[in-house]
Structure formats: C-alpha cells, structure tokens
Structure 1
Amino acid sequence: MCLSNGYEGDVIDNMKTEVKVSADEEELVAQLRNYLTEKLTYLLEQNGTISIGVSGGSMPKVFSEALLSVAPELLNWKRIRIFMVDERHVPRDHEDSNLGAYLQLFPQELHHVFIPVPISKQVVHTAQAYEINLRKYLLPEQLNTYPRFDILFLGAGPDGHTASIFPGKEQLEKITDLNWVSVITDSPKPPPSRVTITMPCILNAKNVAFILTGANKRDVVRAIHEGDKSIPAAQARPMNNKLTLFLDEHAAAGVPNRESSESESPPPFDT
C-alpha cells in the first residue's frame, strides 16, 4: 500500500492501494480534482463514453466541487456520463434521493450527463428499468458479462457496507449472477428499499476510489488494508489493481503504523 505522505506498506492480494490523506475538506476536494484531472486526461485520449459511478450520502458535495473545478478543456461533457452506484427508492425530488442531491449541485445545462434511475411503484421494476439504462451506455466487452465503469467513487458505512451492499446480504455472494442491478427491500438504514449495482460490476471497474472520513471509518479502512473479505467494502477491489483511498486524518488511523493526531472527528461520509 502506498500512502501519499511517503509511507510504504503492504500489498494486499497483490493489489497496490494508493492512499491519499487530507487535513480538511478543502484539501480533499483538491485531491479529488487532481485525481479526476489525471484520469480524464487519459480517458479523453480514448474513444467512447467516459463512465463515472458515484455514491450518495455526503459525497455529492465534494465530488461536485472537484469535478466542476477541473480545467474546462478536460471536460468534454458530450462524452461524460455519471451513474448512480445505488439509489434509494424515492422520488427524485425527495431529500433522500442520491440523484436529486447531485442535480441540485450541478447547473441545469449539465443535468443531461446524469443517467436517470427511473423510479417505478415497485422497486423491482425500478431495478429493471435502471439496468436497461445502464446497458444503453455501458456495453460490456463480451456478451453475457459485466460493464466496465471507467471510475467508481464509493463510500462505506461503519458496518462495512458499500453502495447498498450490506454485510451478510445475498448480493455479496452473487458473483455468477449476470444482473447488473440488485434490489434491496430491507436496508438496515432508511429508506429500506433501494437499488444497487452488483459486486461483480464493482470488481470489473477500471478504477475504484473510496472516500472515507471520520473516526468511525477506521475499522473499515483497516479491513480494506487487511483484506478482510467478510465486509463488502473490503471485497470491492477492482481486478486491474486500480484502487485509491481518499481519507481524512481520522479514517487514516485505520492504516497500520499511522495514528490520528486529533481527538474529534469531522462528519463522516456515508452511503
């Protein structure tokens, strides 16, 4: 594992994890902007749509600030599409809607870059409709397989869930299930009904980046470092080794040989 402050740690399952630690939200946004600039510079040299998956909770604010502050010449909005990693089964104008949170932060003329999650009366129909939308934009490299998101930005809860994949839930085990989207009807966190991309979709992404802040994320960070696959967040390791952790000082205390220097924790990001 490589820390941005020069710490050189372990390689987990032969996968190098880059860790970037921020002192405050301003630095976190700057770190995210630099990351997006690097990735977009490369992706714009390739062909096709640039696909970015994002989570909810407190992530919309920092992600939006970071992306909208990237140099304009790198933002070919005609080629960028942003997808919800998971969505609560609520109307778009509901305060719990992930998509709604992003739309409030982006100017109206950029709303077209967000791929909608069509909310139906029944959550299973919502999942089916969203998968149809995903398949319109994310053609798999082979038939009967999974999409390859260019970048997935994930959060995680103190229990180790990521997206809306919670510990012990069947979505964790469906590695051979060819569905791209799963239904959740008993989320431990309200609202109970949600849709989420499946773990195989996460594993097939080209780049995965976690944004984890707060002392209550230390154990999750430690689990990711140690490869504790009993929790979904620690399983969310892309097969091509491109995993990055964006942490504050408090969450970074979960990295071995590193301790937080402050006692109080800022509000954590959650999903």
Structure 2
Amino acid sequence: MKRIQVDNPQAFAHMVTAHIQQVAEGNDREILIGIPGGRGAVAVVAGVLECQDALLKRIQLFLVDERLEGPTNLETLLDVGLSDAIGTGRLRSSQIQVLALDKPFNSTGRPLDLLYLGVGEDGHVASLFPGSYPALDAKDISDTALVEDSPKPPPTRVTITYRGLKTYAKRAQVYLLFFGEGKRLALDRFLSGNESPSTLPCIYFPREWFSVDIVTDLKEAVG
C-alpha cells in the first residue's frame, strides 16, 4: 500500500489518466471504473475526460452509490464535466452505470479495473457507514443494499455492499481519496490500523487484502 501525496485534488486528475492508459495498454477491451459521488469525483472525472477520444469510448463508469432523495450523485458527475462530454459526443450516456436496487451492480459480471472511493470524515466509503459491517458482508447479501438511515443527508440511498466490493473489485486497483482537512482524523485512524471495518469502513480494503493505495492532499505532521 502506497501513500500518494498531491498538492490538491485537481493534481490527481493527471494520475487518473495515467492509470487508465496503463490498464488500456496492449488490449482493446472495455475499461471498467468504479467512481464515487461528491467532492472526490471531481478529480476522477477530470482524469477520465483527459483521455483521448478513442480511449474514452472504451470506458464504462460505475457509480458505487446513489442518493434516492434530493440532488443525485449522477447529477454531480454530469455537472462536473460528463454532461459537456455527452453533449459534444465524446461520451455516451450509456457509458455511465447508475446504481439501483432493481439491477445488479454490473450486469456483465466483469470485475472492475479501477476503483476510486472518496473517504468521509467518519471513514465511510460509498454509502457504507460505521456499523454497516459485517451485515453487508454476509455471504447471502446482494451486490447492492438500501440505506434508509444514512447519518449524513439524504437519509435514503442505495450502495454497493462489502460483498459487492469483493465480487467486483477484488482484482481492481483501489484508490482511497482523503481530500481536505476534514479527512485528517479519518486518515490518521486508517494509518494507525487499530480499528475494524465496523468502526472505520475504509479499513476494509487492507484487512481483506485488496490492492489499495491512499491518495491525499494532507501533509504529514512534522515533529
């Protein structure tokens, strides 16, 4: 696991482009990318859209959670660049897969190549909040789950489950994004390694031996 230090979230966009190019090298298949909503999505979307048109047409984006009330994560992604790309013909709306309870996370069953997840102040990823583990990692749980009591608004959401992450992201390169001063405590807790996914959901990935790196604009404490 590496710590990738960036000056600001926007600086990560070029790295996202490089990740995609590396996955695409030597093949012509589709590239499957898990993408968050919220602030963490801005740099990821920018990196996706930096790809040349021929490569961009091979990309499938999969939202890892969706709000069922108020402004949606899809709307956020559209607002930060995807709408313009669709309008100019660089991207098709069918290349964006929105999470829903009435369909599997990925109907093709193919695993993700890359997964980017913003980490919240409480260590949550997607809409997997503290207390969601181990129930949403049970063997009989679906790829997706309804969240009706989210501790941050809106309360009602649909999320990929830990079981879904195991199914679709075990072979992916995972990047956990700790952007902004408000994420410092979550990052410190993550690096301490003293907690479990039930109290700090983002620690699920190293505990379950995913290939995971952390990305942050937070400087390490000195002294």
Say if 2:197 is the partner of 1:234.
no
Aligned partner of residue 164 in structure 2, secondary structure: helix
Gaps of 5+ in 2: none
Partner in structure 2 of residue 19 of structure 1: 3
Give a deviation string over 1:131-181, Cα, whole Å, max 9, x none.
Answer: 2xx332333xxxxxxxx2111111121111111011112565524234111
CA distance in 2 between partners of 1:247 and 1:237 (Å): 17
CA distance in 2 between partners of 1:158 and 1:128 (Å): 30
| Percent identity between the two aligned chains | 25
CA contact 1:205–1:238 (8 Å) conserved in 2: no
Aligned partner of residue 55 in structure 2, secondary structure: coil
The count of aligned residue pairs is: 210
| Mapping 1:195-206, distance limit 5 Å | 195-203=158-166, 204-206=170-172
CA contact 1:206–1:240 (8 Å) conserved in 2: no
Partner in structure 2 of residue 123 of structure 1: none
Pick from 68, 81, 85: which aligns with 2:64? 85
Deviation at 1:220, TM superposition (A): 1.4
Aligned partner of residue 100 in structure 1, secondary structure: helix
Structure ranking higher on relative contact order (CA contacts 8 Å, 6+ apart): 2
Partner in structure 2 of residue 208 of structure 1: 174
Gaps of 5+ in 1: 1-16, 118-125, 140-147, 253-257, 262-271
Aligned partner of residue 81 in structure 1, secondary structure: strand
CA distance in 2 between partners of 1:238 and 1:78 (Å): 35
CA distance in 1 between partners of 2:115 and 2:61 (Å): 10
Q: TM-score, normalising length from structure 1?
A: 0.68
Partner in structure 1 of residue 97 of structure 2: 115
Partner in structure 1 of residue 102 of structure 2: 128
| Mapping 1:30-179, distance limit 5 Å | 30-46=11-27, 48-70=29-51, 72=52, 75-90=54-69, 94=70, 96-104=71-79, 105-106=81-82, 107-108=85-86, 109=89, 110=91, 111-117=93-99, 126-129=100-103, 131=104, 134-139=105-110, 148-169=111-132, 173-179=136-142
Relative to structure 1, the CA distance from residue 176 to residue 46 in structure 2 (aligned partners, 3 Å threshold; closer, same or farther) is farther
Aligned-residue CA RMSD (Å): 2.5
Give a deviation string over 1:221-250, Cα, whole Å, max 9, x none.
Answer: 12222322231011133856521211012x
CA contact 1:18–1:244 (8 Å) conserved in 2: yes
